[in-house]
C-alpha cells in the first residue's frame, strides 16, 4: 500500500486501523475496543485491555525462542566500555531488580524516579518498574538538584533509582550530591534510594535510606510481569512549558505499546532482529520511545551510546558505532550532525568504516536545516528523514514513512502527517488557513494511541495548555504551514519554549532564576540563532535603581545561578544589562521583536510599542554580544 492509501485507511476507520495494529501486542486480555471518550476532550486507548510493557519488550522475545538475540548493545567511548546483553539476560536482570523493588514495598501505581546516565541499567530500571506496574519518571542527568526536587515534589515517588555519577567529556558529574540536595530541598521524601555504583566515582550511601543496587537484589525472589489496565500510566516525563514548573506528560501503557510497535516498521523501516540506534539520552522522550521502548517491543537490538558526536574521541564516533554494531536505522538530532560537520566537513572519517548495513537516518528534536540534511545525504548516501514530534506525542506527528513508501524529500519539511494525526493550520480564531499560509499547527482530537492523555496532577493545565485555544483540537505550540502536497513546514514555537542543541528549554524558567538575583529588577530571556545548537538563550537584565556594581559581575552571577538552578544543559552563558525592556503599551515584553533583531531577520515596528527608542538600545546591546549584525 502507498502512504496515501494507509492514511486514507486510517481516516476511514480509525477504530479498525488501531485494533488491527493492536494485534502485534501480546495481551493478557485483548482490548474489546480502541478508543474511549472519558471527558470533554479527554480520550484513552485500549482502556479495557490488560497488558504488561516489560512482557512485550522482553519476556515475549525469550518465549518466542529469541532469548539469545542481543537486546542491548552498550557502547561507551567516554568510559571505553562495551557490553552486550541478550534478551534472556535482560529478562533475568529486570526480573531480579523488579523483585527487589517489590520486596521493598514498591507496588503497582507507585512512582519511581530514575536519575541515571546512558548506561544499560537505566533501561533495566525503566523496565523493572513496568514489570510490576510502577510508574517511572526519568530525570535527565544534565538537570540541577532544584529541577530534580521539583519533579520529586510533583511525582511523589516511593523510591529513587540513581547512578553514583555520569561522565561528561573531561569531567565526572557526581549525581549523588545532586540527589541528596534535591531530596533535602523537596517536601516529599522517598522511602528509599537505590544507588548504582559506577567505578568512575563511588558514592557514599546514607544509612537507612540508600541501598546498593547489587546488594538489595541479593536473595530476592524475581518478579513476574504484573498485567495492568491499558490506561495505566507507564511513565511520567517532565517537559518544559511556559513557567518554571515543568509539565508532567503521562504515557499510558497500551497506547504506547501499539503506537511504538507500529512505528518501527512503518516509519523506521526495521524488522525484528535489526539493530536500531537513537543517539539521544534516556532523559528525553526520544530516549524513552526509541532507545528503550520501541526497539525492544519490536524485537530489535537497541544501542545505548554514552558519548558525544565529537570529542569521544573524534568526529568519526558515529560511523565507528554504526559499522561495529551493524546499525540499520540511526536517529539523532540535527545539532549532532552539525557538530560532526563542523569538525569534519569533508566527512574524512566516513570511508574508514563499513556502513553497508546503514539503511536510513532520522533527524528530530529541532528544525533540520537544509544544509545539514544535504551534507548527511551527500556523505552517507542513504535517505535522511526529518520527522517532527514532541514529548507530548511520544512518536512522530509527521514523517516520511519509509517502511510504507519513500516519499520525495522536500528540504525544510518533515514531510506528511502520520496515520492518527489530522493536522490543521489555524488562524488565531481557529479558522483553517490556506496551503502556504503560516499559522498555528493543531491536531484534530482525538490524538492517536501513544500520545499524552493528560498531565500528571494537572488536568486544568492540560486543558489550558493544549485544548483551550482551539476547541476540538490539540494545540502543538508550533507554528508552520502546509503546502499543496500536504507537506508540513515547522517554523517556530508559539510559546516561550526554545530549543538548544535539541533540548527543549523554557525561557520562562530562566527568567524566574534571573529575577531571583538581588540586583535584578526586571528581565527577559530570548532564544537567539546559533549555527551549532540551533538556538541559545540570551538574557536581558534591568537592574534596581542605584545598583552600581560592575555589570560583568552581575552577568557572571546570573550565569552561575541558571547553571545551579536549572543545570548545565540550559547552556545559559549570554546576558547583558540594559536600561529598559521593549514593551507594548499594555506592558507586554516584545520578545519576538527582540529575537528578530538579534537574528538579523526582517521585522516591523510593532504598532503597540510603548517607546520605539528602546529597540535601538536593545540592538546596541545585542551588537556588543556579536548579534544583530
Ligand atoms: N549530564 C550532565 N551534564 C550534561 C549532560 C548530562 N547528561 N548533557 C549535557 N551536559 C552539559 C554539558 O557537559 C555542557 O556543560 P558545559 O557547559 O560545562 O560545557 C552543557 O550541559 C551543555 O550541553 P550541550 O548543550 O549538549 O553542549 P555540548 O557542548 O556539551 O555538546 C553537542 C554539543 C551538539 C555535541 C551536544 O549537544 C549533542 O550531542 N547534542 C545532541 C542532541 C541530542 O541528543 N538531543 C536529544 C534530543 S534528540
Ligand atoms: P521535545 O518535546 O523536546 O521533543 O521538543 C518538541 C519540539 O521540538 C517541537 O514542538 C518543535 O518545536 C521542535 N521539533 C521537534 N522536531 C522537530 C522537527 N523535525 N522540525 C522542527 N521542529 C522540531
Residue 265 has a CB neighbour count (10 Å cut-off) of 18
Half-sphere exposure of 587 (CA within 13 A, CB side): 1
* Residue 543 DSSP one-character state: E
The answer, yes or no, to whether any atom of ligand 2 lies below 6 A from the CB of 493, is yes
CA 540 / ligand 2 centre spacing (Å): 25
The answer, yes or no, to whether any atom of ligand 2 lies below 6 A from the CB of 146, is no
Q: Which of 323, 312, 391, 307 is nearest to 355 (CA)?
A: 323
C-beta contacts of 387-390 below 8 A and 24+ residues apart: 387/267, 387/362, 387/363, 387/414, 387/415, 388/364, 388/414, 388/478, 388/488, 388/490, 389/285, 389/364, 390/239, 390/285, 390/476, 390/477, 390/478
87: confidence class by pLDDT, cuts 50, 70, 90: very high
* Residue 63 DSSP one-character state: I
Q: How far apart are CA 621 and CA 629, in angstroms?
A: 11
Interval 440-463: pLDDT, tens: 999 999 999 999 999 999 999 999
Cell of 29: 486480555
Q: Which of 347, 355, 408 is nearest to 378 (CA)?
A: 347
* Ligand 2 atom 13 nearest Cα: 366
Phi, psi of 202 (to 5 degrees): -90, 135
The answer, yes or no, to whether any atom of ligand 2 lies below 6 A from the CB of 490, is yes
**Given a cut of 90, is residue 244 above it in pLDDT?**
no
The answer, yes or no, to whether any atom of ligand 1 lies below 6 A from the CB of 311, is no
Interval 404-418: pLDDT, tens: 999 999 999 999 999
* Ligand 1 atom 19 nearest Cα: 568
Domains and CATH numbers, the chain: 93-226 (3.40.50.980), 505-624 (3.30.300.30)
CA 258 / ligand 1 centre spacing (Å): 32
Which atom of ligand 2 is nearest to 392's Cα?
2
Q: How far apart are CA 395 and CA 259, in angstroms?
A: 8
Q: Which residues pair with 497 in a beta bridge?
A: 506
Helix axes 507-515, 551-565, angle to 10 degrees: 120
Mean pLDDT confidence for 372-387: 98
Instruction: Specify whether the CB–CB gap between 211 and 93 falls below 8 A.
Output: no
Going from the C-alpha of 258 to that of each of 27, 111, 297, the distances in angstroms are 11, 23, 9
Helix (H) or strand (E) holding 360: strand 360-363
CA 623 / ligand 2 centre spacing (Å): 29
Which atom of ligand 1 is nearest to 311's Cα?
35
Which atom of ligand 1 is nearest to 500's Cα?
25
Interval 218-233: pLDDT, tens: 999 999 999 999 999 9
Q: Which residue has the cell 537584565?
A: 541
**Given a cut of 90, is residue 130 above it in pLDDT?**
yes
**Given a cut of 90, is residue 380 above it in pLDDT?**
yes
Q: Which of 218, 220, 203 is nearest to 160 (CA)?
A: 203
Residues 6 or more apart whose Cβ sits within 8 Å of residue 29: 48, 49, 50, 51, 227
Which bound ligand lies closest to the C-alpha atom of 247?
A: 2
Q: Which of 565, 611, 563 is nearest to 584 (CA)?
A: 611
The answer, yes or no, to whether any atom of ligand 1 lies below 6 A from the CB of 568, is yes
* Ligand 1 atom 18 nearest Cα: 568
**Angle 193-200-192 (CA atoms, 0-180°, nearest 5)?**
5
Which atom of ligand 1 is nearest to 117's Cα?
7
What is the three-state SS of 83-130? EEEEHHHHHHHHHHHHHHHHHCCCCCCCEEEEECCCCHHHHHHHHHHH
CA 335 / ligand 1 centre spacing (Å): 10
Which bound ligand lies closest to the C-alpha atom of 488?
A: 2
Which bound ligand lies closest to the C-alpha atom of 139?
A: 1
CA 442 / ligand 2 centre spacing (Å): 14
Cell of 567: 543545570
Interval 508-561: pLDDT, tens: 999 999 999 999 999 999 999 999 999 999 999 999 999 999 999 999 999 999
Which bound ligand lies closest to the C-alpha atom of 388?
A: 2
* Ligand 1 atom 15 nearest Cα: 568
Q: How far apart are CA 450 and CA 128, in angstroms?
A: 20
Which bound ligand lies closest to the C-alpha atom of 387?
A: 2
Q: In whole numbers, what is the pLDDT of the chain averaged over residues?
A: 97
Which bound ligand lies closest to the C-alpha atom of 142?
A: 1
Which pLDDT score, from 0 to 100, does residue 628 have?
95
The answer, yes or no, to whether any atom of ligand 1 lies below 6 A from the CB of 501, is yes
CA 610 / ligand 2 centre spacing (Å): 33
Cell of 398: 509527521
Mean pLDDT confidence for 72-101: 98
Which atom of ligand 1 is nearest to 569's Cα?
21
* Ligand 2 atom 9 nearest Cα: 390
Instruction: Specify whether the CB–CB gap between 173 and 166 falls below 8 A.
Output: yes
420 conformational bin, left if phi > 0, alpha if psi -120 to 50, beta if neither: left
Which atom of ligand 2 is nearest to 386's Cα?
19
C-beta contacts of 265-268 below 8 A and 24+ residues apart: 265/298, 265/403, 266/6, 266/401, 266/403, 266/404, 267/387, 267/395, 267/396, 267/399, 267/401, 267/402, 267/403, 267/418, 268/294, 268/329, 268/331, 268/360, 268/362, 268/402, 268/403
Which bound ligand lies closest to the C-alpha atom of 165?
A: 1
Pocket-testing residue among 163, 168, 173, 303, ligand 1, by greatest number of atoms within 8 A of Cβ: 168
Helices (H) and strands (E) in the chain, counts: 19, 31
Which atom of ligand 1 is nearest to 173's Cα?
2
* Ligand 2 atom 7 nearest Cα: 390
Q: Is the dihedral of CA 202, 205, 210, 213 positive or negative?
A: positive
Which atom of ligand 2 is nearest to 497's Cα?
12
pTM of the entire predicted model: 0.97
**Angle 511-514-517 (CA atoms, 0-180°, nearest 5)?**
150
**Given a cut of 90, is residue 181 above it in pLDDT?**
yes
Interval 568-581: pLDDT, tens: 999 999 999 999 99
Which atom of ligand 2 is nearest to 503's Cα?
3
The answer, yes or no, to whether any atom of ligand 1 lies below 6 A from the CB of 114, is no
The answer, yes or no, to whether any atom of ligand 1 lies below 6 A from the CB of 312, is no
Phi, psi of 526 (to 5 degrees): -125, 165
Q: Which residue has the cell 502512504?
A: 3
Which pLDDT score, from 0 to 100, does residue 158 have?
98
Amino acid at each position: 500500500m502507498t502512504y496515501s492509501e494507509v492514511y486514507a485507511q486510517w481516516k476511514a476507520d480509525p477504530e479498525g486501523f488501531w485494533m488491527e495494529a493492536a494485534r502485534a501486542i501480546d495481551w493478557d486480555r485483548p482490548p474489546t475496543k480502541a478508543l474511549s471518550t472519558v471527558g470533554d476532550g479527554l480520550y484513552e486507548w485500549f482502556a479495557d485491555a490488560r497488558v504488561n510493557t516489560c512482557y512485550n519488550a522482553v519476556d515475549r522475545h525469550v518465549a518466542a525462542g529469541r532469548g539469545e538475540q542481543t537486546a542491548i548493545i552498550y557502547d561507551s567511548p567516554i568510559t571505553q566500555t562495551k557490553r552486550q546483553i541478550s534478551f534472556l539476560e535482560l529478562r533475568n536482570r529486570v526480573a531480579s531488580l523488579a523483585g527487589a523493588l517489590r520486596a521493598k514495598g514498591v507496588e503497582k501505581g507507585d512512582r519511581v524516579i530514575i536519575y541515571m546516565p546512558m548506561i544499560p541499567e537505566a533501561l533495566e530500571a525503566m523496565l523493572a518498574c513496568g514489570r510490576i506496574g510502577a510508574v517511572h519518571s526519568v530525570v535527565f542527568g544534565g538537570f540541577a538538584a532544584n529541577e530534580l526536587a521539583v519533579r520529586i515534589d510533583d511525582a511523589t515517588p516511593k523510591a529513587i533509582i540513581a547512578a553514583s555519577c555520569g561522565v561528561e567529556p573531561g569531567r565526572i558529574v557526581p549525581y549523588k550530591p545532586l540527589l541528596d540536595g534535591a531530596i533535602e530541598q523537596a517536601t516529599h521524601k522517598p522511602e528509599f534510594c537505590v544507588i548504582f555504583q559506577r567505578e568512575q566515582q563511588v558514592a557514599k550511601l546514607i544509612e537507612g535510606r540508600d541501598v546498593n543496587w547489587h546488594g538489595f537484589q541479593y536473595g530476592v525472589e524475581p518478579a513476574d510481569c504484573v498485567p495492568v489496565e491499558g490506561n495505566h500510566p507507564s511513565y511520567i516525563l517532565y517537559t518544559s512549558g511556559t513557567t518554571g514548573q515543568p509539565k508532567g506528560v503521562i504515557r499510558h501503557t497500551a497506547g504506547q505499546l501499539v503506537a511504538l510497535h507500529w512505528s518501527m516498521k512503518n516509519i523506521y523501516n526495521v524488522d525484528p532482529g535489526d539493530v536500531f540506534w537513537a543517539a539521544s539520552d534516556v532523559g528525553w522522550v526520544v530516549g524513552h520511545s526509541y532507545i528503550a521502548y520501541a526497539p525492544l517491543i519490536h524485537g530489535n537490538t537497541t544501542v545505548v551510546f554514552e558519548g558525544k558526536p565529537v570529542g569521544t574521541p573524534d568526529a568519526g564516533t558515529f560511523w565507528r558505532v554504526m559499522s561495529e554494531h551493524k546499525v540499520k536505522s540511526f536517529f539523532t538530532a540535527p545539532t549532532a550532525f552539525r557538530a560532526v560537520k563542523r569538525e569534519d566537513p569533508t566527512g574524512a572519517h566516513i570511508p574508514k568504516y563499513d556502513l553497508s548495513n546503514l539503511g536510513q537516518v532520522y533527524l528530530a528534536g529541532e528544525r533540520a536545516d537544509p544544509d545539514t540534511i544535504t551534507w548527511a545525504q551527500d556523505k552517507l548516501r542513504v535517505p535522511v528523514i526529518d520527522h517532527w514530534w514532541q514529548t507530548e506525542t511520544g512518536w512522530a506527528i509527521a514523517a516520511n514513512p519509509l517502511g510504507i513508501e519513500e516519499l520525495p524529500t522536500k528540504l525544510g519539511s518533515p514531510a506528511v502527517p502520520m496515520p492518527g494525526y489530522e493536522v490543521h493550520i489555524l488562524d488565531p480564531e481557529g479558522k483553517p488557513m490556506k496551503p502556504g499560509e503560516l499559522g498555528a499547527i493543531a491536531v484534530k482530537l482525538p490524538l492517536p494511541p501513544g500520545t499524552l492523555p493528560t498531565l500528571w496532577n494537572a488536568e486544568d493545565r492540560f486543558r489550558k495548555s493544549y485544548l483551550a485555544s482551539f476547541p476540538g483540537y490539540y494545540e502543538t505550540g508550533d507554528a508552520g504551514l502546509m503546502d499543496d502536497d500536504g507537506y508540513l513546514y515547522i517554523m517556530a514555537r508559539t510559546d516561550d519554549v526554545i530549543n538548544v542543541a535539541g533540548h527543549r528549554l523554557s525561557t520562562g524558567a530562566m527568567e524566574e532564576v534571573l529575577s531571583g538575583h538581588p540586583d535584578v529588577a526586571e528581565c527577559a530571556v530570548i532564544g537567539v540563532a546559533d549555527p551549532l545548537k540551533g538556538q541559545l538563550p540570551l538574557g536581558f537584565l534591568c537592574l534596581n535603581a542605584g545598583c552600581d556594581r560592575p555589570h560583568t559581575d552581575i552577568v557572571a552571577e546570573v550565569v552561575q545561578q541558571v547553571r545551579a538552578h536549572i543545570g548545565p544543559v540550559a547552556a545559559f552563558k549570554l546576558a547583558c544589562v540594559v536600561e529598559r525592556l521593549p514593551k507594548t503599551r499594555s506592558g507586554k515584553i516584545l520578545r519576538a521583536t527582540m529575537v528578530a533583531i538579534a537574528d538579523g531577520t526582517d521585522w516591523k515596528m510593532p504598532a503597540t510599542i510603548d517607546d520605539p527608542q528602546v529597540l535601538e538600545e536593545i540592538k546596541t546591546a545585542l551588537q556588543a554580544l556579536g548579534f544583530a549584525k
